[in-house]
């Protein structure tokens, strides 16, 4: 880890709010909202994520905090952003993928036919990597639509939950690992 990467990781750690027993007992929720609301934190995080994914044609942000991050990263890189939405939020037709997360199940969707993804190099951006199910579903959804998924860039990784292993061999970079 370079000194600059260490600085970003320390800033993320200092600004993250830890909430025990949310959304259910036994879950230690890491709330990155304070990181995103802090001008220095938001700038440092989006700049670091942009360095990680530089060279792609499009970034895909996962609903909902991933939208904020991916939009800022896309703006920094001068490229477009694709919102990977929670199920039922987009008009048909859609491509969808259901998956399991650490405290339930969910579905992700992207527009079918509205955006040409075939052959485009796409990086996935999200806030937290936990069990890996959300990022894996986004990867599979994009790949099925013809995109070449180059990797995933995340702000925070919960290493004990093993999400990185589920994504192997996808390149995964996290700004902070706890």
The dihedral through the CA atoms of 15, 86, 58, 134 has a sign that is positive
- Predicted pLDDT at 26: 87
Helix (H, G, I), strand (E, B) or coil at 1: coil
Domain that residue 116 falls in: 3-177
What sign does the dihedral 79-55-16-131 (CA atoms) show?
A: positive
Q: Give the tens place of pLDDT for each residue, 84-118.
A: 999 999 999 999 999 876 667 899 999 998 899 99
Q: Are 53 and 62 in contact (CB under 8 A)?
A: no
Q: Tokens 């290493």 correspond to what residue?
A: 159
Phi-psi region of 58 (alpha: psi -120 to 50; beta: other; left: phi over 0): beta
**Helix (H) and strand (E) counts in the chain:** 6, 9
pLDDT of residue 103: 66
- From 30, 65, 97, 139, active-site residue: 65
Residue 19 sits in a domain of what CATH number? 3.40.50.2020
CB of 132 closer than 8 Å to CB of 163: yes
| pLDDT > 80? residue 12 | yes
**Catalytic residue status for 102:** yes
CA 91 to chain centre: 23
Q: Catalytic residue among 5, 51, 76, 102, which?
A: 102
pLDDT of residue 105: 86
pLDDT for 102 equals 62
**In the predicted structure, residue 1 carries a pLDDT above the cut 80:** no
Domain count along the chain? 1
Give the pLDDT confidence score for residue 24 in this predicted structure: 85
């Amino acid at each position: 880890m370079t000194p600059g990467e260490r600085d970003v990781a320390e800033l993320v750690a200092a600004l993250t709010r830890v909430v025990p027993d949310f959304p259910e007992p036994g879950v230690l929720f890491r709330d990155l909202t304070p990181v995103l609301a802090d001008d220095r934190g938001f700038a440092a995080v989006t700049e670091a994520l942009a360095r990680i994914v530089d060279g792609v044609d499009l970034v895909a942000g996962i609903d909902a905090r991933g939208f904020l991050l991916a939009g800022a990263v896309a703006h920094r890189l001068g490229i477009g952003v694709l919102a990977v939405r929670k199920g039922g939020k987009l008009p048909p037709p859609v491509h969808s993928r259901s998956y399991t997360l650490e405290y339930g199940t969910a579905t992700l969707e992207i527009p079918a036919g509205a955006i040409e993804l075939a052959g485009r190099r796409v990086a996935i951006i999200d806030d937290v990597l936990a069990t890996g199910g959300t990022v894996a579903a986004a990867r599979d959804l994009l790949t099925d639509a013809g995109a070449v998924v180059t990797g995933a860039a995340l702000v925070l990784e919960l290493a004990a939950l093993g999400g990185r292993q589920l994504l192997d061999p996808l390149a995964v970079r996290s700004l902070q690992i706890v």
